[in-house]
Structure 1
């Protein structure tokens, strides 16, 4: 079997061991650490044409039957901390033949790259090998445990009754990838499977395939978030510092320390062109004889806590000298924050029987930045005998920065 390992067997006159070729082929150097003495096991990434992340030690089958092929490649296999990490190389395509399937149940076999070291494992063997760890036949088969000093490459589902004579293994669907990558310490780790794997140290970087990510000691963060840039949509559920920004489905949001809020609240507007009457002398939020008695617009308060409110309508009185007014009540979570005025301030007013179009704009301050409010239309008339007409009503709120 063309599997070689450096730093496993000394070369002596009496016994063959590590050669200069082994030293040149096997990956050497300090790999990604996982502790003071241990390294991250995995396959060294790369492919001949540069189009694939990793071609080494790929398990595949090309013809019907019970034999798989493993592609050449280089890897690091971590043994115990005392034993250290073994650099290993497979120099040629290598065939592995699986045992026939159980008569009644399927099983899942595990393909591993394994290092035997008699100095540490008491096996009496000192070599690096490709090995099939056979699973137990079951109705719902499970993969066997990975042996010590082994690097899992793939699982292979062996159907019940499978053999060369019955067509063997379905290689297009039977193989499940288990390979992971490893790189030298300080290198950017290409993500290949194992998306949930934790980092080795704060400041480690990996390429997720679409984003450069940094391990902060507890989780992988998209690199733009660390730079103060805008985190891409879907990458950040919780902010990492006050003042951080993210894209949320086209909305720019800012982390205020506890929640995401709109970074730049936009104007809000509500409109209804179905007219109605009001003859209440006290402020009321609803008209009568209309399909839209109330006009409401919700908005997010800007960082300044200031807004401009504009209200307008087309209206007239039913009696000579009568008048009608429109303004807004400001509510937060349903509670009244700012009620209608007692006089004509903050009001749009029409007087007399002639139809008129009016509007007014006024400022409200002291709002809680990032909080959601509702501006609700409010109406009143000069007398209960005046059925004042309100039509084409609107409420607009503009943030003040």
Structure 2
């Protein structure tokens, strides 16, 4: 018989059975049970998993190729090691006249000490699904290891097209390794069994189980995750590179520049106003206000610098003021005041600027700074040119 097992039959286990199936590979599912799965490996080392591959022999017959696996029995049955040493053929029943169905190829353990089969065998078999408009695969039998789902079209038969082997298969195989081994992940992503367990993920990233999630290797050791490797951080203080080459730090909610660079905006077009109250609009300049949005750093403090080139028109005896308005969404955080304004007076061109420490911001929250202007005398328009705003994060 091609399918071998050990510690299953009441009598008749041979030394060859034992040699072939004592594989020593169990990935823990808990303290007393193991995951069912297939030992990884392939000819020439070309693939993660080649064991128990299902190919096609003819229109309605598949060929299951060799491999080794372990199957966890229900309850206290323990783990059954099995080995298929040469290919076997698996026939599929003809398709239903009206609907397609999904069959399941499994390796199944029959153990008469625990079930009503009165058998002691490890077998590969096809569990036939139920035809329907939207068919679903059948349940995996107790002490069974799923290998492939196979879609059987309506009316399929040896003389009527049969199974489309190119599209009919869905691979359900999973891998197992010994305790402490690095699992080459295939198929279903299982939760880890213990902190410090490692797996090689399907995208080729080495990962470590951290009690809740599989954490990619550069994150687990405090290294800098490569650009595109992760979306959300795993812990506060984690670093990642970006496609633009900016080093970022995870603050628990969002990614922020690790070394925040200044945010800066300017408008080199001049404009004037006669408004006695602060306004973001200047006549002669594009109507859009000069504004900048930034994300508050972990300290919640930024240093604002703002100003412009200024001149009072006409007789030059008036005064003009440039200040800023701070908003968070639709909420006004700080309104413009003369106290924090860059002030100018006279008919000569003058460059004026000032600085303002803005504190008590919510880290990781976006704020908007808008430049606003006014004059002291409405009869003497103020001219504002090359207006700028700069925001520097503070520690």
Q: Name the TM-score, length of structure 1 as normaliser.
A: 0.87
Is 1:267 the counterpart of 2:266? The answer is: no
2:354 maps to 1:358: no
Distance change (3 Å), C-alpha of 1:59 and 1:396: same
TM-aligned CA deviation for residue 286 of structure 1 = 2.8
Displacement of 1:48 in angstroms is 1.0
Alignment check: 8 A CA contact 1:317 1:386 kept:
yes
User: Distance between the aligned counterparts of 1:337 and 1:128, measured in 2?
Assistant: 72
Change (3 A) 1:380 1:141: closer
Distance (Å, rounded) in 2 between the aligned partners of 1:29 and 1:22 = 14
- Contact 2:304 2:389 (C-alpha < 8 Å) held by counterparts: no
Say which is worse superposed, 70-79 or 156-165, in terms of deviation: 156-165
Q: CA separation in 2, counterparts of 1:282 and 1:159?
A: 77
What is the match of residue 197 of structure 2? 204
Distance of aligned partners of 1:341 and 1:137 in 2 relative to their CA distance in 1, 3 Å threshold: closer
CA distance in 1, matches of 2:337, 2:45: 72
Distance 2:45 2:256 in 1: 43
1:324 corresponding residue in structure 2: 320
Distance 1:27 1:311, change over 3 A: farther
Secondary structure of residue in 2 paired with 1:166: coil
Runs of 4+ aligned residues of structure 1 deviating over 6 Å after TM superposition are: none
Q: Distance in 2 between matches of 1:173 and 1:302?
A: 52
What's the counterpart of residue 287 of structure 2?
Answer: 292
- Matched residue of 1:151: which SS? strand
Native 8 Å contact 1:311 1:396 kept in 2: no
Structure 1 counterpart SS, 2:114? helix
Tell me which residue corresponds to 1:125: 119
Offset of 1:59 from its aligned partner?
Answer: 0.9
Contact 1:301–1:367 (CA<8 Å) still a contact in 2? Answer: no
Unaligned runs of 5+ in 1: 12-16
Q: Write the deviation string for residues 247-302 of structure 1: whole angstroms up to 9, x where unpaired.
A: 56655443434555443333222233443222234433332354236211122233
Q: Which residue of 2 aligns with 1:71?
A: 65
TM-score normalised over the length of structure 2: 0.89
Kept after mapping to 1: 8 A contact 2:256/2:297: no
- 1:49 maps onto 2:44 in alignment: yes
**SS where residue 120 of structure 1 aligns?**
coil
Question: Which residue of structure 2 lines up, in the alignment, with residue 28 of structure 1?
Answer: 23
The verdict on how the C-alpha distance between 1:242 and 1:132 changes in structure 2, with shifts beyond 3 A counting, is same
Aligned to 1:158: 152
Q: Is contact 2:253-2:364 (8 Å) kept?
A: no
- Give the stretch that moved more between structures: 154-163 or 45-54: 154-163
- Say yes or no: does 1:116 pair with 2:116: no
CA distance in structure 2 between the partners assigned to 1:326 and 1:248 by the alignment: 37
SS of 1:49's equivalent in the other structure is helix
Kept after mapping to 1: 8 A contact 2:319/2:343: no
Distance 2:130 2:213 in 1: 36
Alpha-carbon shift at residue 40 of structure 1 (Å): 0.7
Q: Which structure 2 segments of 5+ residues have no match?
A: none
- Select which of 308, 313, 331 maps to 2:309: 313
Q: What is the aligned partner in structure 2 of residue 140 from structure 1?
A: 134
